[in-house]
Amino acid sequence: MHPASNPSTPLPSPQRVARCLAELTGLRDREQLQQRLAGHLVEHFQPVRAQVCRRHDERMGGWDILALHGPPAEPGEQECQALLEALGREHPLQLAELPGRAFYPLPGSHGAQAVLQLQLEASPSEAHQLVADEILRVYRNVIGLLDYGERDGLTGLLNRKSFDETFMRLAALSARSEAGLSGCDGRRHWHSGDPCFLAVIDIDHFKRVNDGFGHLVGDEVLLLVARLMGETLRQHDRLYRFGGEEFVVLLSCSQDDGAQAALERLRERVARYAFPQVGELTISAGFTRIDADDTPEQAFGRADKAVYAAKDGGRDQVRSFDELLAEGAVAEAATGGVDFF
């Protein structure tokens, strides 16, 4: 059974609701939007405990916990099932077997799904629920508008404009936090919690697909490759389409071998996939570690050189720019490729 409703908790004033909506509609960064929505819902319900649970790597089956009010608590088995059920929902989830718990979906943080888990003294009144539902609806509308401007129209992946903005924001944060620190090679790197590697992925012989089967089939191939990327790479990795058959990924890996392994999994998945009408296809990929003082053009240029090396080496392979540099196969100055600015 649910705990008794607590009608004595006052409803938020119109001014407070208006302030909440004005703040949400004024933000453009998805992570800030998610954080502020969670904060407003905590303020609205005044729970005993509140924490944001973000899905970690599905293969690990874990959750990242961010305590907002009260001490953090690892979710139990029933709570984990409720969190999974709440992911992707439009409306909050409350279950009779978990009295005093409410699960509010927080979609839209660069593809990562999160849930606000509340522990309440009493079930909120219907009026409280209605206000929270309207706040969530405004939040989803804002996310939808951001998606419209930041997503590729064909594949639904993030577009190049959003890549530029995200890259520069994360690089600036990393540079400020690591000021005065350097690695053993004299270059400052991003934190391991940030996307630390940039990968460029190119579909091999894609022109043959368009020429031989037509652009509608070519578009279907792009959609399927984008879907395979989303299914194979981790939720915290950020996926972009730069146009044509070229994709970019910001990988959240702390070591080169982790980035290599992730891209190899994708390469193998694509090579095994039977594309309708086309049959077998392969991809070539190149990647580089991102330095804190990098520009998008510099990092892309290095990864792009690694892609060309993969293609020159026979395609259907993954190459690391740093390894190529150590072999003397490429030069350090690698700022060619896409004209970003």
Here the contacts of 173-177 (C-beta below 8 Å, separation 24 or greater) are: 174/292, 175/292, 175/293
Catalytic residue among 79, 150, 220, 245: 245
Kind and range of the H or E element at 189? none
Question: Is 245 in the active site?
Answer: yes
Question: Which two structure tokens, joined as six digits, stand for 23?
Answer: 């703040």
Write out the E strands in 277-328: 283-289, 318-320
Q: Which of 222, 234, 223 is CA-nearest to residue 265?
A: 234
Residue 156 CB coordination number (10 Å): 14
From the number of C-beta atoms within 10 Å of its C-beta (0-12, 13-18, 19+), residue 129 rates as middle
Place of tokens 């609701």: 17
What CA–CA distance (Å, rounded) separates 169 from 156?
22
Longest alpha-carbon distance in the chain: 72
Kind and range of the H or E element at 202? strand 197-203
Active site members: 245
